[in-house]
A = this chain, B = another copy of it.
């Protein structure tokens, strides 16, 4: 590693404004109110649960008590990148040195954090400090956006209720209340989706998104078969695995139809196993499966050539397949580094192979997946550092590589800006300057 070059590249890449195309931020609040809320992010509860398991549940809903409970355990996870994010938050936003994070300081840290973060100005101060220019959200179909700052936030539709939860009576009732009539026919689902897209478009919609179970399959399902499935679940008969698969394939196409109609992308997040760890903390019970393929998406991707599919994958074993899919499929865009693949070792590999083989204009560099705006900066810095290392290597290689033209400092910066800002905005269809 050429430290001097990496540092120079990083500092310029770090100076770019941040466009974050996928978060779970709550636009009503944006930031956390204190360090206890920061620590409630599942990474900290799950890692301390993993390092030092206790039968007694952590006080998840009491930020102050949670701070007291977790702080003594943080030293157990000080090697992790997640701890590094926390220390960046501490230094950059709270002016607290990592050495201050001693168990006996828990209350002082909490109070200090609240003094800074629990102020009306905090959110806008943080946005300025981090140079955040646009943040995409994760929203339920029945969420309303009154009062949301659409010049900063972009709502994105979470589609699982239409696809995965349709056999749950409570979900259908919620949807009926939303739609203003019972959900009995595929046309009712289409109407609910249309209503949703139209409402979201009014608020500056980004895209539809779905976090998808492993080995998902898409294929043609007729309206008649879909009607039969709805009838069955409405009648109270549980769907079997085949029914779930058929409805999943059918409803995913309904959503792709809407993406086509309203010219919005469909962001695929591939390969999660939900709720597999019985002793997990809230948000910390999911894993993935190394045995997972994008093969099941052939039908969807082929049937909707006019829909853009930014795609993130959870397993390192799908990274090569995503690279190849984005290499030849015009409507697949590799998007960021998701969750269990969101750490330096996996990021480093995937950055390199994507730049090797996928047209640069298709690369969506990164998204933070953050729950509070505070996490965006440290997560982007983690990515930007790996990107700087990869670009520095590329510069050095180009000087002696028999097949490469010069890849100069400015070329590296152009590529970084494309991956981090221009591509995400263009691919998602927000043709705006920042």
Interface residues of A (CB under 8 A from B): 1, 3, 6-7, 10, 14, 46-47, 49-53, 76-82, 84-85, 87-88, 98, 273, 276-280, 284-285, 287-295, 298, 301-302, 305, 315-321, 323-331, 340-341, 343-346, 349, 352-353, 355-362, 378, 381-382, 384-385, 393, 396-397, 399-405, 415
Contacts and interface: CB of A to CB of B under 8 A. Distances in A.
Contacts of A84: 401, 403-405
A53 B316 CA distance: 28
A325 B345 CA distance: 16
Nearest to A297: B276
B324 A340 contact: yes
A46 B401 contact: no
A283 to B, nearest CB: 10
A231 to B, nearest CB: 32
B78 A329 contact: no
Nearest to A351: B345
Contact of A330 (B53, B79, B318, B343): B53
17 contacts: A1-B396, A47-B327, A50-B330, A76-B360, A77-B359, A79-B360, A80-B359, A81-B356, A84-B401, A278-B305, A279-B305, A289-B321, A290-B293, A291-B295, A340-B357, A344-B356, A385-B397
A62 to B, nearest CB: 22
A303 B54 CA distance: 16
A401 B385 contact: yes
Contact of A328 (B79, B280, B404): B280
A81 B352 CA distance: 11
A402 B415 contact: no
Contacts of A357: 80-82, 340, 343
A290 B292 contact: yes
Contacts of A319: 316
A39 to B, nearest CB: 15
A201 to B, nearest CB: 24
A315 B320 contact: yes
Contacts of A80: 356-359
A403 B385 contact: yes
A340 B355 CA distance: 13
Contacts of A346: 320, 353
Nearest to A91: B405
Nearest to A324: B340
Given A284-B328, A287-B321, A277 B302 contact: yes
A1 to B, nearest CB: 6
Given A50-B362, A330-B49, A359-B50, A291 B293 contact: yes
A44 to B, nearest CB: 11
Contacts of A328: 46-47, 49-50, 277, 280, 284-285, 287
A344 B82 CA distance: 27
Contact of A345 (B273, B330, B356): B356
Contacts of A323: 340
A276 B329 CA distance: 10
B46 A290 contact: no
A319 B319 CA distance: 14
Contacts of A78: 360
Nearest to A50: B330
Contacts of A287: 321, 324-325, 328
Nearest to A415: B79
A289 B293 CA distance: 6
A98 B273 CA distance: 48
B353 A403 contact: no
Nearest to A320: B316
A8 B62 CA distance: 47
Contacts of A321: 287-290, 315
Which of A85, A288, A318 has the largest count of B CB atoms less than 10 A from its CB?
A: A288
Contact of A324 (B14, B288, B359): B288
Given A84-B404, A320-B346, A381-B402, 9 more contacts: A49-B330, A50-B326, A51-B362, A76-B359, A84-B405, A289-B293, A315-B320, A345-B352, A385-B403
